Amino acid sequence: MKTRNLYLAVIAIAVLTIRYIGALPEFDERYAGSYVGQKLTVKGIVEEQPEEGEFYTQFKLEVSDFKYLDAWYPAKGTILIQTQKFSELNYGDVVEIVGVIDEPLRSDPRISGFIKNPGIKIVKKEQENYFLSPFRQAQGKLFKLRGFLTGRLDAFLPSPSSGFAAGILFGVRSGIPREVTDDFKRAGLTHILALSGFNIVILIAFIENFLVFLPRKIANVLSLGFIFVFTLMVGAGASVVRAAIMGSLSLIAKMFGRHSSGLRLLFIAAFLMALFDPFIIFYDIGFQLSFAATLGLILFSGRLKKIFEKYPNQLGIKESFITTFAAQIFTLPLIFYYFKGFSILAPLANLIVLPFIPVLMLGSFLSIIFGKIAAAPTWIIFEIVLKIIHVFAELPFSFIDFGIS
């Protein structure tokens, strides 16, 4: 068995290496990154739902053409665009951009360049873009559905509770004020606002309980469909895709009466994701943190359970502590590297706050359906949790900032 696993690992590494080399961009006259430092007019498609900040809009433009001496020429590459608030943009829109292409903000072969505050002209709205593939058209409709659902949250929950709800349900963080996100950071709870495997596991549990009256195989098939649609709707971020693949494979194994190894599922998910996007392993922070946290849970939580087996599991506190500690011990090096600091109170803050998340997710979902009737008690719980987080954030030395540039 060990020999076979070693062979499979070598084959996987070889395949991914070839895939990585083959995906590296060619710096020719068509590549947008070849024009860094120059003012250029480019045309392309908005390839992801734009990210709405408090004072800005940021999106990725999949470049198709560039303009030179009043003539358009084929082009390629992806440019990261950041501009002042531009709420009219949607996924799938065709736009013209005029601006100076700068180096990307951080090294990433997937990004050809960066343009800040360019001139923007919408050439064709998503619904008029007949060149969109059926897959992209479907995802565009799902993004609109997500916008409608977050709008319902905004209508029935006051800020910042509505932004918090949109974050834990749909991964939308644009409605969360800066001071609140700072509190989450200082308390070591930023991961709650980004959809992760934790949220997906909760959603799968909700769906399975909701479909309990159906035959097991039919319920599993419907659960698989829900996971796929939900993953597309929330933008298919790395942590969500990782959890979706592992959850789907686990459900399929159950359908056929097979046992699924968590470690094997994790590496299958990583291989499939890297096969689709060969740069994800080295350049996607979300992927790295999600993989490390899950690896910590798989490898370390069992050992911690043995260490603490003589202690009672009152109100699930011991189990919650073990889960939190196992995940965080593996992500700590990455947190040091990327964020130049860490929250020393994170284990305790997670221990107290995480048990509220399933309740808040359910309350937020019911608020979308039933409006103010469900929103009122949900808002009270949100306010309690936000107050707890603020208290943690205000404690002396809650966040150790190394200030390394």
Residue 10: inside a domain? no
Confidence band, pLDDT 50/70/90 cuts, at residue 302: confident
Q: Please give the average per-residue pLDDT across 336-363, as a whole number.
A: 86
Residue 289 and residue 242 share a domain: yes
Residue that is last in its domain, among 71, 100, 128: 128
Residue 40: inside a domain? yes
Residue that is last in its domain, among 128, 159, 181: 128
Residue 319 and residue 219 share a domain: yes
Cα(128)–Cα(304) distance, integer angstroms: 56
Residue 304: inside a domain? yes
Residue that is last in its domain, among 84, 102, 128: 128
Residue 17: inside a domain? no
Residue 182 and residue 63 share a domain: no
Residue 271 and residue 181 share a domain: yes
Q: Which domain holds residue 217?
A: 144-401
Residue 375 and residue 237 share a domain: yes
Cα(107)–Cα(156) distance, integer angstroms: 41
Cα(149)–Cα(23) distance, integer angstroms: 37
Query: What torsion, rounded to 10 degrees, do the Cα atoms 23, 25, 31, 33 define?
Result: 130
Residue 7: inside a domain? no
pLDDT at 126: 64
Residue 162 and residue 111 share a domain: no
The answer to whether the pTM exceeds 0.95 is: no
Residue 371: inside a domain? yes
Find where tokens 């996607």 sit: 284
pLDDT at 129: 60
Residue 392 and residue 265 share a domain: yes
Residue 217 and residue 115 share a domain: no
Q: Which amino acid is at 245?
A: I
Residue 349: inside a domain? yes
CA atoms within 13 A on the CB side of 281: 15
Confidence band, pLDDT 50/70/90 cuts, at residue 405: very low
pLDDT in tens, 143-161: 889 999 999 999 999 999 9
Q: Please give the average per-residue pLDDT across 75-83, as a whole number.
A: 92
Residue 277: inside a domain? yes
Residue 88 and residue 179 share a domain: no
Residue 91 and residue 184 share a domain: no
CATH code for the domain of 88 = 2.40.50.140
Q: How far is CA 284 from CA 63, 111, 254, 294, in A?
A: 21, 12, 31, 16
pLDDT in tens, 41-63: 999 999 888 888 777 889 999 99
Residue 36 and residue 180 share a domain: no
- Total number of domains constituting the chain: 2
Cα(327)–Cα(368) distance, integer angstroms: 32
Confidence band, pLDDT 50/70/90 cuts, at residue 316: low
Q: How far is CA 266 from CA 2, 20, 29, 110, 272, in A?
A: 17, 20, 40, 24, 10
Residue 117 and residue 162 share a domain: no
